[in-house]
Structure 1
Amino acid sequence: MTEGSSNSSSSSSLPHFFSQISPLYPSPTPDGKLDTVEFLEATKSFIKMYDLLGTTFYVVKRDMSGNVDKLYKTYNKDPEKYKYLNDLIYGERSDPHLYAVEALLWLKRAMEFTVIFIRGITEKHHKGVLSDRLDHIATEAYNQTLKPYHMWLVQNLFKMVVKSVPNRSELVKSLYFGKAGSDELLSKDLLIYLKQLETNLSIIVQMYDKWGLNNDNKV
């Protein structure tokens, strides 16, 4: 992330967003199921990262939070039946309105956008690309994940969103809660966190592919 981050022992021990985030994404059961509440609570914590990206990203946070609420609404209809996210989606797949199915689909897309964006920052740093600008990485992530499902009005809105992403040094400082910390430690903890998050995303992708629940509807 930033070359100018301190590598001293004092800075390397500083807490940052990904060392403090809790709860973490759940480990799947042996048969590949995700605990619904654990997944949703982890997502609520993950969404807080958008508070560090600036007020323009409120639109993304609001949308993701709204979809978490919709999934909780379905879960609360029968917590025992819907203990696992897989069972919730399977049970709701034939709902004529598909509230839960649609909510998780959009939540997945927004999570994929965020994962591609923050992984892109780390990967470019490891390749020696130390440009402070990040808007092009955010644009690439948006083009891969959300843009195909947005109509032109929403696309124009997101152009402003991705252009407002802070630069690399500002983002690292924000993730260290306003202090200068070790970039290497941040990257290490970030990649550990992403590995479990991506395990959860992979299971969701498999569910939607298996049950034919993807769609190309635009908003």
Structure 2
Amino acid sequence: MKRRREMEKGSEIQSAIEELSLLIKLKTSDNHDAALIPTRPFLYVCNLVIQVLDKIGPTMAVLRQDINQNVQKESDEANARKGASCSKAFVWLTRSLDFTVALLQRLVKDPDQEMEEAVKDSYNITLKPWHGWISSAAYRVALKLIPDTKAFINLLKRKDENNDTLAEDMETFISLLVPILEEIHSILIFYRLDKLKST
């Protein structure tokens, strides 16, 4: 309930900034057995991405469902005992956040960029290398249904927020999330999970 009230006061991006700001920095170490992955904040940020996808509407239903299923797998204690299932979910959640960061970076850099182009570029560098033909086909269908840039930006903003403030929030969010994703990627590489592809 507390988080729901917090989100009503601010945007999803501001809520994510608050959550990420609370994190203790990940310990950079060659000893990956001692590495700490901040699961609770990580899953919270994934849930915020789901809420943004809900705002966009049915056009992002496939991505939303995929992220939601992976969040459930990652947070369900029964699945946590099944290492492969939990590991796969974590890999795909990380890649979903990679996509989100890439998309936001493009929109901050060029707010007038066509949304379809921004999504294509972000998809090509983050998700496409790991998708099989079924996932790629689903992406191509979803691409035809995405909103334009202005509509998407308006979905991210609070009612009283201007574009400059939103851009600052997006930059702050990116600057907090990228180091965490880099550390997570190094752990995935260490455990040889970084090359996992969809079936």
Q: State the TM-score bracket (shorter-chain normalisation).
A: 0.7 to 0.9
Match of 2:129 in 1: 148
Match of 1:82 in 2: none
Q: Is the contact between residue 27 and residue 34 of structure 1 (CA under 8 Å) also seen in structure 2? A: no
Tell me the CA shift for residue 42 of structure 1.
Answer: 3.0
Tell me, what secondary structure is at the counterpart of 2:19? coil
Pair 1:69 & 2:50 matched: no
Pair 1:27 & 2:24 matched: yes
C-alpha spacing 1:60/1:77, structure 2 compared with 1 (3 Å): closer
Which letter does structure 2 place at the counterpart of 1:42?
V
Q: Residue deviations 1:132-179, cap 9 Å, x none?
A: x210110111111212222223212101212322112111222225x4
Tell me the CA shift for residue 15 of structure 1.
Answer: 4.6
C-alpha spacing 1:55/1:206, structure 2 compared with 1 (3 Å): same
Match of 1:112 in 2: 98
Q: Which of residues 48, 53, 63 in structure 2 aligns to 1:50?
A: 53
C-alpha spacing 1:48/1:216, structure 2 compared with 1 (3 Å): same
Instruction: For CA contacts below 8 A with separation 6 or more, give which structure has more relative contact order.
Output: 1
User: How many residue pairs were aligned?
Assistant: 183
Which letter does structure 1 place at the counterpart of 2:59?
T
Comparing 16-25 with 207-216, greater Cα deviation is found at 16-25
Tell me, what secondary structure is at the counterpart of 1:218? coil
Match of 1:84 in 2: none
CA RMSD of aligned residues (A): 2.6
Tell me the CA shift for residue 35 of structure 1.
Answer: 3.0
Tell me, what secondary structure is at the counterpart of 2:76? helix
Q: Is the contact between residue 208 and residue 214 of structure 1 (CA under 8 Å) also seen in structure 2? A: yes
Q: Return 5+ residue gaps in structure 2 as ranges.
A: 1-8, 29-34
Q: Is the contact between residue 22 and residue 42 of structure 1 (CA under 8 Å) also seen in structure 2? A: no
Which letter does structure 2 place at the counterpart of 1:28?
K
* TM-score normalised by L of structure 1: 0.72
- Which is higher, the Rg of structure 1 or of structure 2? 1
C-alpha spacing 1:103/1:216, structure 2 compared with 1 (3 Å): closer
Match of 1:215 in 2: 195
Q: Return 5+ residue gaps in structure 1 as ranges.
A: 1-13, 79-91
Q: Residue deviations 1:27-57, cap 9 Å, x none?
A: 3344562332232223222321112222121
Q: Which has the higher helix share?
A: 2
Tell me, what secondary structure is at the counterpart of 1:69? helix
